[in-house]
Amino acid sequence: MSYQNNLTQVLLPGKDLTKEMDFFTSIGFRLDNIFPSDDPAVAFMSGHGINLRLDKNADVSPPTLHLRTDEPESINNGISDFKSPNGTYIIVHPKTYGLITPPTQHKFEVRQLRDSDPWVIGRAGMQYRDLIPDRLGGSIIASHIRIPDGGPVPDMVHYHTIGFQLIFCYSGWVKLVYEDQGPPFILEAGDCVTQPPEIRHRVLEASDNLEVIEIGVPSDHMTTIDHEMELPTKSYNPDREFQGQQFCHHLVKEAIWKPWRIDGFQFRDTGINEATKSVASVHVAKPVGNGLTPQLSSHNSDILFTFVMRGAMDLAAEDQPTQKLKKGDAFVIPPDLKYQISNCSDGLELLEISLPGDFTTTSY
What architecture is the 254-363 domain classified under in CATH? Sandwich (2.60)
Cross-strand partners of 99: none
Which regions of the chain carry the CATH code 2.60.120.10? 109-251, 254-363
What pTM was computed for the model?
0.87
CA 8 to chain centre: 33
Q: Please tell me whether the peptide bond between 356 and the residue prior to it is cis, using omega within 30 degrees of 0.
A: yes
The predicted structure's pLDDT at residue 97: 81
The predicted structure's pLDDT at residue 14: 85
Superfamily classification of domain 10-93? 2,3-Dihydroxybiphenyl 1,2-Dioxygenase, domain 1 (3.10.180.10)
The predicted structure's pLDDT at residue 1: 46
Residue type, 181: Q
CA distances from 96 to 68, 75, 141, 187, 197 (A): 8, 16, 23, 33, 15
Q: What is the CATH number of domain 109-251?
A: 2.60.120.10
User: Residues 52-91: pLDDT tens digits?
Assistant: 999 999 999 999 999 999 888 889 988 999 999 999 999 9
Residue segments in the chain with a per-residue pLDDT below the cut of 70:
1-6, 115-118, 122-125, 290-291
CA angle 113, 119, 122 (to 5 degrees): 135
Asked whether 161 and 216 are in contact (CB, 8 A), the reply is no
User: Residues 140-150: pLDDT tens digits?
Assistant: 999 999 988 88
The predicted structure's pLDDT at residue 11: 95
Which regions of the chain carry the CATH code 3.10.180.10? 10-93
Nearest residue to 163 (alpha-carbon basis) of 201, 122, 219: 219
Q: Does the CA dihedral 228-233-235-240 come out positive or negative?
A: positive
